[in-house]
Amino acid sequence: MNTTETIAGLRFCLSTAGKVRQGFVPTMGALHHGHIALVERAVNECGRVTVSIFVNPTQFNDKRDLDRYPRTVDRDKEMLSRVLRENDVVFLPSVMEIYPGEDKRVFDFGNLGRVMEGEYRPGHFNGVAQVVSRLFDIVKPDVAYFGEKDFQQLAVIKALAEKTGQRVEIVGCPTVRESDGLAMSSRNALLTPEHRAAAPVIYHAMLGSQNLFLEKGKEAAREFFTGKIGEVDGFRVQYYEITDDTDLVPADYASDMIKGRNYHICVAVYAGGVRLIDNVRISLE
């Protein structure tokens, strides 16, 4: 695989690709098997794949969160070298390379950007939109791969591609879980051993709340979820929502669910000082 830190270097690498399907996996590094699953899918479906590693400052509304975001570039490169091919590219730009001047663009995603993460992390999706649109401009992929764990981000990025007219297919890939059910996330590395051991409760309590929602509605399901999370010392629920995956319109009762749409339980939980998000699709079978 090739490695480059500059746009010029990336353009040079990509100029040698000829007419092949260009795949792109944007990441902030601290790679885990969830990222590798995205890269493997891109490698299977595309003639050339670019993986970016860039911890994007504009999407962190909390500076402490940015400072302590895990950075493991050598390990990331090692992991990528096992799945990428000779002509694939790892792009590791500096902040100056991506933002030579302040990015003042403001994106409005309406409801998509306001609910859940939008409510609790103001400015977050604007920063995601800034960096992803910039990276799309630089890499010019035919197809880009994102994890479904970041459920709302995926909806926002699909809207972004439509809004900006960028000709890129957005592919969502299933959440990869540890064997105990915890969704893989770069932030898991920040958990204390006690909180790591307890964290699968998030997934299991979501699953456990599903039938309550279908039978009694969201408040009963949320109460169940909050109760289970509250049993762990140091854990706190920030939100528990049920929305469709297109417009992110909440459903309070099963009768609110619009036919033909997929609904997900979406949660954010603080495990000590570490904020974890997760979601599961509601199964009607």
Task: Kindly list the catalytic residues.
Answer: 35
| Alpha-helical runs (H) found in the chain | 7-15, 33-45, 63-68, 73-81, 95-98, 111-114, 117-120, 124-139, 151-164, 193-198, 201-216, 218-230
Least Cβ distance, residue 45 to ligand PAF (angstroms): 19
Identity of the residue, 33 or 261, whose beta carbon is nearer to ligand PAF in the bound complex? 33
CB of 128 to ligand PAF, least distance (A): 5
Q: Contact 252/122 with Cβ under 8 angstroms? A: no
Interacting residue ranges for ligand PAF, rule: CB under 6 A: 26-28, 56, 59, 128, 131-132, 150, 153
Which CB atom, from 4 or from 153, has the smaller least distance to ligand PAF? 153
Q: Are strands 48-53 and 89-91 parallel, antiparallel or unpaired?
A: parallel
DSSP-derived letter for residue 184 is P
Beta bridge partners of residue 25, listed in sequence order: 51
Question: Shortest approach of ligand PAF to residue 186 CB, angstroms?
Answer: 8
- Beta-bridged to residue 144, according to DSSP, are 24, 170
Nearer to ligand PAF, 59 or 243 (CB): 59
Nearest distance in Å: CB 131, ligand PAF: 5
Q: Which is nearer to ligand PAF, 134 or 195 (CB)?
A: 134
CA atoms within 13 A on the CB side of 269: 34
